Structure formats: structure tokens, C-alpha cells
Structure 1
Amino acid sequence: MSDDDFMSDEDFNDESLEETDSEFEDETYDDDRYLKYDKPQRKSYEVEFRVYSDSQIQKAQAEQIEEVSNILGLPSEQCAVLMRHFKWQKERLIEQYLNSQEEVLGAAGLDTNAARTLKIEKVKGFMCDICCNDENGLETFALRCDHRYCVECYTVYLEQKIKEEGESGRIQCPCEGCSTLVDSKAIKLLAPKSVSDRYQVLLNRTYVDDKDNLRWCPAPNCEYAVDCAIGPKQLTTIVPTVVCSCGHHFCFGCGLNDHQPCPCALVKKWIKKCEDDSETANWISANTKECPKCLATIEKNGGCNHMTCRKCKHEFCWVCMGPWSEHGTSWYNCNRFEEKAGVDARDHQAKSRASLERYLHYYNRYANHEQSAKLDKDLYLKTEKKMTLLQSQSGMSWIEVQYLDSASKVLQQCRQTLKWTYAFAFYLERNNLTHIFEDNQKDLEMAVETLSELFERPVEQLASLKVEMMDKTAYVNNRRIILLDDTAKGLLEDKWNFTVDLN
């Protein structure tokens, strides 16, 4: 994918970011009807973010280093070391450097002898302290600290530091006890191209790691970074889901896969709770269940929760094991945990049993959506072949059969959302808002099940179901938006009451 798919390099600096944002500040009018169009607004659960390529990150560093070099009058190599030492806080660096130059240079691992030029030299009568080579005409190199070694030993040292140890911005002089840092100019003089290229990659990584508003995309082999202004203090009221240009959805706050609507603090507590042996030892995770009517063993082989026993033809819900005829009606409460009456709070054993039962209710549904998402994905891989077959049978073009792809992506996204709604609901205190949330959760779950059933139909029925599937896909996506928007507004307005402290 080319850089043209993203922002231009100039967009990376702060001034151009302001100019880009200002494009939407002016009101726009229609020339014919003089209608005023509203500025596009983000939904409550969406955050502003930008994706940057490796080359854009590298250029941003170069521009900032050049600016500091012009102000301080130092070589760009030394300014790069200073900027990394100060974690790219330009104003702080300039202020401290102007107050105490020698102290700042020393703390950053730089020598005050900036006038000396770094170069490879042949020194008469020299012997390398590493390899003890003293032959005439031996090429040598030394940093401004004047600790000199032969070029071959220096190159081997740099290769080990960069390729094996992954060092870049803090590579020190080979002399024991010397804190003088190796800069990019020394790398260019001594290291082969493969090592120099790796050095630049590592510098880019340290640049992103040092800045709070940047995070690398956690997808395997992805080289893009995401810029988002959401700080740690905001994570109790915002779930900052971002989408990398590689297509990966993840949380900018914690780096985990998208977990809306659940805040990072609840996600951390929920994962720890699920991994705790005291919680899970009493629950047997199995892929098979018994038919509630004839007790025949049934294995779930699709994302849909509508099960039909092959032996007795009984239709039931895989989640709650209740009759499927009751699902989709006004008394559909599969998603809501009902407290059982008659539990004596004074009875510790009964209270513990009720607590465990409540946890298993939410965990069972959380795990079910996680499994269904995987099965839906596997089903789509098979359906992709059906799309080709459908194309040949119905005369539809490849573009016309893409409604199956859209349905699959929406199902994946909604399964992920529904999974985390149960972790969210587990920590909610019971009140009127909780019931509204569970109603939205129920509506989304019912819509997802309907679309999932359509998605599993035989290939010969897919052509006639196109309009219905497109309508259901749009409806399901809309239900997800409603749930996430309502939940996000509640977090921002501090309306939700949780049984644990998010801080």
C-alpha cells in the first residue's frame, strides 16, 4: 500500500495539523439553494486519530532535529542524541541547554568538543586494545572522547549492538566506563548498509515509544504508527478504538484488540478474573452440550445460536438452552441475568454459590460470542468459495456478491462488541440504566442471530437473499452504533455506576 493512502508528509508537523483541522471550521453553503451544511461530527464512541508510515515518521524526526540544530548551532547528529535524551521535548531541551550547555551535553552522553570531525584515520604506532592488532596502515576510529579502536573491531561492536541487542539511541563508546554515545554519523562511517538500515528502523521505534501520543500498531508485521491524543487519565471515560491502515482495530489505551464498550480498567480486571483458577476451576468449558429434550450430545459447528437436534428435531438456544420459540419475542431475556429469590445473605455458602452462578452467566455468554466469532470467520472462508460459485450460477458480478463480505465483517465486529458487553454488564450496578443497556444488548444480539442464520443458508439460496441480507446487515450495524453511542455517552457523563473502582 502506498503512502498516498495516508496523509502527506507535511501533515505530520503541528502547524499543518492545525491547518488540516481548520478545513472543516468554515460553514459550507450550496450555491443553488443557499443551504447550510453542518460540520461532520464524530459519534460519542469515536476518537480522532491518524496513521503514519515509516517514511513519514523518519521525516518528522529529521525536521525537528534540523530545527533544533539551527537554534542551538550544533551538528544534526548531536541534536538527534539530545532530542532522544529529552524524549523529543524541544522546548525543555532548548531551555536547559541555554542555561547549562556542558551539563546537558554530558548528561546526554555527548562531548563538549563538537568542533572535532569524526573520521577514519591511520595512526602511526597504534595498537587496538580489543584485537591487539598493531600492523602499519591500520584504519582506526574514535569518537570525540578519543577512545580509539580499529575499524574492524568497531564495526563488529556496532553490528552486535544493533542487530543482536536491538540498541540504537543509547549505544556507548566500546571503552569500559565511557558514556559517550555513538551518533548516526559514526554509524554511516562504520556500519554496512544492512546494519545502518536496521539502526534507522530502531530509531523510529524509539521515537514512537518516547511520545505519549504515538503507538505502533500491534498487528503482526505492521509498520504503521497511530497518533491519538487520548491520555491515560481519560481512559476511565473513553474507550479509544483506532483503526490502522492495515485494517487492524485496537485500543490505543492498552494496545489490546478492540474492546468497546468496556473501559481498559474493566478489561484488565475481567481478564484477570477469567484467568483466576478460583473462578474458572468450577466451570467446565466444553464445545458440546446435551439436547435439553432427548439428552443427545450436540456439537456447535456455526456462529448461529439457533440449534436443532438431529435426533429429536427439538429447537433450542445454545446459550440459555431454552426453547427457541421464545427467542425473538417480548419475553426474550437470554442476555439478562435474573437474580434468584430465596438466597439467604447470611448463608455464606449460598452467597458464594450465587456469586459464582452470576459470574458464570456472564462468562458463558462472553466465551460463546468469542467462539461464535471464530466460527463465523471460518464460515466466511468457506463462503468465499460460495461467492465464486454464486457468481457463476447467477450471472452476478464479483462486485454484486460482495454483500456477503459486508455481512461477514459486520458479524465479526458485532460479535466482538457483544463479547465485551458481558464484561461491561458484569461490573455494572443494578439500576434503570442497566436495564436500558441490557435492552440495547438484547436488540443487537437478536439482530446478529438473524443475520447469522441468513449467512449460513445454502449457496443456492444466497442470490434470492441478497436484498434481505443487505437490509439486515445495515440494521445490525445500526443497532451496534446505538449501543456503543449510548454507552460512550454514559461514560463521558459519568452516569454508569460500577461495582469496582476504575481508577
Structure 2
Amino acid sequence: MSSDGDNDDFVYDDEYEYDDGFDQDEEADEIDSTSEPDVYDALSPAIEEAPQKKPYDVTWKVKTLQEIIDMQNKEIKKIQSVLEVPPSSAAVLLRHYAWNSEKLQEQFWNDPATALQEAGLSPPSSPTTSTQPLPSGPFECPVCCMDYDAASLEKNTYAMGCGHRFCKDCWTEYLTGKIKAEGESGNIQCMEDGCSRIVREEVIDEMVAADVFKKYHNLLNAAFVADSPNLRWCPHPDCQYIIECNQAPTRMLDQLVPTVECKCGNELCFGCGHPASHRPVLCRVVKMWEKKCADDSETANWLQANTKECGKCNSTIEKNGGCNHMTCKKCKWEFCWVCMGPWSEHGTSWYQCNRFDEKSGVDARDTQAKSRASLDRYLHYFNRWANHEHSAKLDAEFYKKTEKKMEQMQNSGNLSWIEVQFAKQAVDVVIKARITLKWSYCMAFYLKRNNMTELFEDNQRDLERAVENLGYLLEQNIIDTDSIAKLRSDITNQAAYVQKRHDILMDDTLKGYLERRWEFAIPT
């Protein structure tokens, strides 16, 4: 596979068509748009049109391991034919040039001997492995010091084109250790100290056991994916799929958050390999945030505690649901779990639970006061980031309880199982929105204060308020199944509103990267 600049042609285009792997000429042969319609078309099932691609979205393909192997073999055969070298030599050359076939051919035609030597292969004028002359007398292996007479040399010893001869037992032990213990594959060199000659695939096949040779090939496949900027393994456990994406080069990661979805059903970021979507935050901002959270681990441990004290009676309260509307069982005071303020003030025009009061640090004059103000600002955003992560987990656990209520609604209301799925769909919307809100606080921490930041926080506030309302509605009303029709209507409408607010926040933020509207206060 070539990585020879396909990424340089990236264009933001709403009408971009999914790349199906065909060349234009091949595709014309496969699909003739001017041909007569198939007589069986009327009997074929209707195919829903895919949703229109957003300008900040990327296209991708999910590939199997066999498809990756086929990609390598196709490129190896091509180079073998063009350069007239053995298949194993073509593979070594491609790995040395990171599978950039154009660069390889340019270097090879300019100076074949140098290209071969730099890749760890014998130059054209050197003797090949098969024609390497045997010593005329007895031979002592330089590693194990075993003696071999002239009659047993060919059977028990081996030398590559570099001429360094060792016994086959030492070769086997050396190659097995390199593969199993050190995880090396395409860069295994001759045992002779200072020799950079690469051990080719057919030599390893002859010297090692079948299970070791299988691991060797697995390592080669992993290296191929790692060398290609357009390929990435799915990071989720027990998943063997590989994602191919040609629209997320490193230079575009300040304008894109390339979220893709594997066939295993999980999302990931193709840009940084994060095992989940971190939209709407850029990859470099996520890395800085996670490093900062790790550095402040003691603070993080304190913030992630599941208990707080009631602001009225100081009773210890444990959070056991995703909703942030809390009621103290002792004094019945209703408050917000995030800011600990009275819940009655949420929803008013002046209440800004999601915003940090920047004025609190303006008057900090001495070093200690400034440090305290900086810590307070960090805690404000981390508290909300961690809370939404924790609430999303609680909401997921809450759905397990709702399944029983859904069964009750199905039985008491004479409804089908599909008709009571609104509860699951609403919980899915809540969890998705909470993950987006979680990462929105990471972004807000690094944003410079300006008019655009105000707009971002307005969208963030509206989504957060809608999520809390839906979460409260689910937790309170799902218990009562007397009026299923009203319950279904209320939850469905609120879930639709949450989805709308989610799309507004995501659409505006991700488009803002393309328009370069966001300015970050990134420490240098």
C-alpha cells in the first residue's frame, strides 16, 4: 500500500462520495448508469438513503485482517514485477521505505546498490544465500563454539549473503528470542555484531517453529498498520478490525475531530486512537487535559468521591442516579449536585451553573492567591467533566432497572415490546449527551474568553439543562405506569429536544474549527 500523498488532496465537500475501493475505470465497468434498469429492481427491498455527510465528518472503511494481508501482497507483487527482485526482497524494501512505493522506486532506479544496502539486503554484485561458498575445513560456531566437520556444514549451519555463518540451532534460538521476547519482525538483523543484513522471511520460516512463524507474521501485519498513516487498529478488546481513513492527516487535526465507528459497534478517534469519541474537543487538547488530570491525581481522587454534604443540614448524601437534581432526605432541601446551589434557581436567566466566574481571579495579587484562583478554575471544569462521566455510568446502570418497568408497561398497557422502547432510546440520548457535555468542559477550560466562547457556553448550558430535565423525568416518572401514553409522550418529546440541543452544540462547535473561530489559551 502506498502512503505517497493521497492525504494532500483533502477537500471539505458536503457531496463527498464514499470511497468503495474501485478505480474510476473499474467502477464504470461494474456500474453502468446508462444501462436499462434491472427487471428485478421492483422486487428488491427499498434502500434508505444515507444521511448527508457533514463538512466536519470523515469517511472510513472497516477492514479485516485478511484484507490487510491482501493489500500487502498486492503491493509486494507490484514491486517484485517492477524491480525484478524476489518477493521477500520486495517486502524488505517496502518495509524499509514505510510502504511508500513511489519513493522506493525513485531511490532504487537512482542507485540500486545503495537502496538495497540501506534496506539491509545484498547488493546486486554480492553472492546470494544459495551460492554462499562453504568453508573448506572444520567450522566452529562463533556463538555456541560447537565444531562441525566439512560433511555436516551444509546440513547444520547457515550463512546469509553477508557471509556470517552460524549453526542452525543458534539461528533458531536467536530468531525465536527476537520474535517472541522482543516482538521484532521486519527489522531482525544478522547475528554478527555490527552487521545490518536483514533476515528474510523464507529464512525465518525454515529456522523457527510454526507457532513462532505465525507470531512473526502477526507482528508484520501490526507493523504494516502502524507504518500506514491511513490505517489504525480498533483499540477495543478482542476486536480484530482495522479502520482505513484517508481524510485525517496530522496536519488536519487542528480542524477535525475524526470520529469513526468500527464494526464491533464502538466509536473511536482516528486521529489519536482514543478508544471513544471525544467530540467536540481536538486531539491535542484531549492529551493536555488527560495529562493535567493525571498530574493532579490527588485532586481528581477527591473530586470523584461519591458523597457530599447537604448545604443546609450538613448530612452526608450519596449520589445514586445520573440526575443532578438532589433532595436531602433529612431536611428536604433541593439543590444541584454540580454547584451545590439551590435547585430553584436553575433555569432562571441569571443562573449560570456551567460558567466559571473569571472575575474571582482578577483581584488575586500575590502568588498564593493566584495559585488558589487557578486551582479553583481547574476544579470548576474538572468537577463538571468528572460528574458527567460518572452520571453517564449511572444512567447506563439505571437502564437495567428500566427494563423491568418496560416489561410492566408492556403487560399493563397491552403494548408491544417495540412500543415501549422509547425508554431505552431516551436513556441512550441522555448518555450520548452526557459524554458530549463531559468533553465540552475540557474544551471550555482551554478556550480564550471572547464572544465565541459565550456562544459556546450558551449552547453548552442549554444542552445541560435539557439533559437534566430528561434525566429527572426518566427517574421520576418511569416508576408510575398508570398513564403510559402521557409518559411516553413526555419522555419522547424531551428526548427529541435533547437530541436537537446536542446537534446544535456539536454542529456549531465542529464547524467553528473549520472556520477557525475558536482560540485556545494553550500553555507553552
Taking structure 1 as the reference length, the TM-score comes to: 0.83
Cα RMSD (Å) of the superposition? Answer: 3.8
Offset of 1:65 from its aligned partner?
Answer: 0.8
Rate the CA distance shift 1:445–1:277 in 2: closer, same or farther, 3 A: closer
For 2:43, the equivalent position in structure 1 comes to none
| Structure 2: gaps (5+ residues) | 1-18, 35-47
For 1:3, the equivalent position in structure 2 comes to none
Question: Is the Cα–Cα contact under 8 Å of residues 77 and 183 in structure 1 kept in the other structure?
Answer: yes
For 1:176, the equivalent position in structure 2 comes to 193
Offset of 1:478 from its aligned partner?
Answer: 2.5
Rate the CA distance shift 1:119–1:282 in 2: closer, same or farther, 3 A: same
CA distance in 1, matches of 2:157, 2:116: 25
CA distance in 1, matches of 2:68, 2:435: 31
SS at match of 2:317: strand
For 1:309, the equivalent position in structure 2 comes to 328
Question: Is the Cα–Cα contact under 8 Å of residues 56 and 514 in structure 2 kept in the other structure?
Answer: no
Rate the CA distance shift 1:175–1:343 in 2: closer, same or farther, 3 A: closer
Offset of 1:144 from its aligned partner?
Answer: 2.7
Offset of 1:418 from its aligned partner?
Answer: 0.4
**1:112-162 C-alpha deviation (Å, 9 max, x unpaired):** 358846599999966544441637654444333343444443233222211
Query: What pairs up with 1:6-405 in 2 under 5 angstroms?
Result: 15=23, 41-112=52-123, 116=128, 128-131=141-144, 132=146, 134=148, 138-228=155-245, 229-256=247-274, 257-277=276-296, 280=299, 286-340=305-359, 344=363, 346=365, 350-384=369-403, 399-405=418-424
Taking structure 2 as the reference length, the TM-score comes to: 0.80
Offset of 1:66 from its aligned partner?
Answer: 0.6
CA distance in 2, matches of 1:282, 1:117: 61
Offset of 1:281 from its aligned partner?
Answer: 8.9
Offset of 1:380 from its aligned partner?
Answer: 3.2
CA distance in 1, matches of 2:411, 2:142: 75
CA distance in 1, matches of 2:205, 2:21: 27
Name the stretch that deviates more: 136-145 or 91-100. 136-145
For 2:6, the equivalent position in structure 1 comes to none
Question: Is the Cα–Cα contact under 8 Å of residues 387 and 401 in structure 1 kept in the other structure?
Answer: yes
Q: Tell me which of 489, 500, 504 is aligned to 1:478.
A: 500
Question: Is the Cα–Cα contact under 8 Å of residues 128 and 160 in structure 2 kept in the other structure?
Answer: no
SS at match of 1:456: helix
What is the one-letter code of the residue matched to 1:93? L
SS at match of 2:161: coil
**1:177-218 C-alpha deviation (Å, 9 max, x unpaired):** 322111222233333322222111111111111122222222
CA distance in 1, matches of 2:188, 2:131: 18
Name the stretch that deviates more: 195-204 or 77-86. 195-204
Offset of 1:164 from its aligned partner?
Answer: 1.5
SS at match of 1:226: strand
For 1:500, the equivalent position in structure 2 comes to 522
Question: Is the Cα–Cα contact under 8 Å of residues 76 and 87 in structure 2 kept in the other structure?
Answer: yes
Offset of 1:273 from its aligned partner?
Answer: 3.1
What is the one-letter code of the residue matched to 1:439? D
Question: Is the Cα–Cα contact under 8 Å of residues 141 and 148 in structure 1 kept in the other structure?
Answer: yes
| Structure 1: gaps (5+ residues) | 1-10, 27-36
What is the one-letter code of the residue matched to 2:62? V
CA distance in 1, matches of 2:418, 2:342: 39
> Identity percentage over the alignment?
51
Count of residues in correspondence between the two structures: 481
For 1:452, the equivalent position in structure 2 comes to 471
Question: Is the Cα–Cα contact under 8 Å of residues 310 and 316 in structure 2 kept in the other structure?
Answer: yes
SS at match of 2:522: coil
Rate the CA distance shift 1:405–1:68 in 2: closer, same or farther, 3 A: farther
CA distance in 2, matches of 1:85, 1:122: 30
Rate the CA distance shift 1:184–1:407 in 2: closer, same or farther, 3 A: farther
Query: What pairs up with 1:410-421 in 2 under 5 angstroms?
Result: 410-421=429-440
Offset of 1:431 from its aligned partner?
Answer: 2.7
Offset of 1:54 from its aligned partner?
Answer: 1.1
CA distance in 2, matches of 1:355, 1:307: 28
What is the one-letter code of the residue matched to 1:240? P
Question: Is the Cα–Cα contact under 8 Å of residues 121 and 141 in structure 1 kept in the other structure?
Answer: no
Question: Is the Cα–Cα contact under 8 Å of residues 262 and 423 in structure 1 kept in the other structure?
Answer: yes
CA distance in 2, matches of 1:302, 1:191: 56
Offset of 1:335 from its aligned partner?
Answer: 1.4
